[in-house]
Copies of this chain bind each other. A is one copy, B any other.
C-alpha cells in the first residue's frame, strides 16, 4: 500500500510518463497485502457459514433512486458523499456506499418466496467520496451479516453471538474487546420515565435531540454537556440535573441501565443475560451508545477494542442492531432484520495491533519451485511439477534462463519454501533432491518419497 503515500495530483502533472499511483483514496493489493485481505475474507466467511449464513452479492452499480427514496436514511450521504454519475443511457447511477439498501431490494423482490427467517451475509466493497485519512478510505470492504424475517428477541442474541465469534475466530481474547448494548425503545421509555417521575413530559423531538447530544457524551466536558441539556429542556434545571446524573451514574461505570423498571428494559436485560449465560461475559449496557440510532428501531450494539489495562481505546470494530422498516420503501409486507457490519481496514489494524495475523499467511509460502538448468530439462521439470500439483502442492517451474543461484534467490523472494534443482544427474536418474529453504535441510528420493516428506512438513 505504498502507493498511497505518494501524491497523485503531483504525479499527474508529469505528463511524459503515466503515473503508477492508484486513484486517490483506494488501495492496491500486491500479493503480500492480498494474502492478508484474503485471510480476513476467508475467516469472515468461515465464521458466518458456521452459523448457517449464506452468501449473496449485488453489483456495485445501483440506481441512485435506491438512496434517494423515501425511507432511505441517506439523503446527506447521497448528496455529499457518494460517487453518483449519469451513464451513457441517461440513467443516474451510484456506486453503493453501503449494503443495506441493496439487500433490502433483494429481500423485497422475493419477500413472498423466501422461507423466513433467512440468514444472509456478504463481503461487498463500498464507496464514499470523503477526505482519505487513516481508517477512512474511499473504497473499503465490509462483512455484512443479517437475519431477516424474525421478531424473536433470540435472533438479536444469535447475531451478537456471531459478531463476537468473528473476533474470537481471529484469535482475539474476550479481554481484548467489549460489547456495548442499547435499545431505542428502552432509551426513550427511560427518558420518559425520568420525566414522569418529576411529573413532567418530554417530546419525541427532545428525545431525538438528547440522543444526538448523548452520542458526544464522552467527548464533552460536564459543564458543556449540562449547557446543551439546558437548551434541550428549555432551562428546566431539575430535569437537566436528573438526566445528567442518570447518564453519569450509568455510562461512566458501564453498569446496566439505571432502573430497568423505568424503561421496560426487559428486552435489553434478556439479551444481556442470555449472552452471559452463553459464556459471553464482556457485554454491558451503555445508554450513551448511539451510533446509527436513527436507523435502528430496537436493539443496537457495538464492539469496541480494549487495551491491556482494560480501557476502551475508542476503536469501534463492529456495529449493528435491529431495524424493522427495512423494506418499506419498496412497498409490500414489512420485513424486519437484525444485523451488523465490520470493515476490513479496522479489522486489519486490530489484527496487527494485537499480533493476531498468522506467520505463514501467504499461501504461496508452501510453494515448491522446480528449477531446470536447460531447455531440454524443461519438459521433465513440467512432468515432475504435474505430479506435485496433483498431490495439492503449489508448484512453480522457473522457466527463466537465469542461473541456478539467481533462481533460488527469486524463489525465496516469491515466498517459496522448497526447491528441487533439476540438473544433468536428476534428468538422467530416478532421484531428486528437495531443499527446504528455511531449514536448509535436504531430502533425496523419488517423487513419491518427496511427497511424503512434504506432507509431513505441511
Contact = CB atoms under 8 A, between A and B. Distances in A.
A12 B63 contact: yes
A129 B91 CA distance: 12
Nearest to A119: B396
Contacts of A165: 389
Interface stretch (A105-113, A182-190, A290-298): A105-113
Given A152-B399, A158-B382, A129 B52 contact: no
Interface in A11-35: 12, 16-24, 26-31, 34-35
Nearest to A63: B23
Interface string A145-183: 001011110110110010001000000000000000000
A314 interface: no
Given A17-B331, A364-B49, A31 B120 contact: yes
A25 to B, nearest CB: 9
Contacts of A401: 150-152
Interface residues of A, number: 111
Interface in A48-89: 49-52, 54-63, 65-66, 69, 83, 85-89
A405 B367 CA distance: 51
A139 B55 contact: no
A426 interface: no
Nearest to A156: B399
Contacts of A367: 52
A18 B66 contact: yes
Interface stretch (A197-205, A217-225, A407-415): A407-415
21 contacts: A17-B329, A18-B65, A18-B69, A19-B63, A20-B106, A23-B59, A28-B56, A28-B59, A34-B54, A35-B55, A50-B395, A51-B395, A61-B139, A83-B87, A117-B400, A119-B414, A154-B397, A158-B382, A161-B382, A274-B378, A278-B382
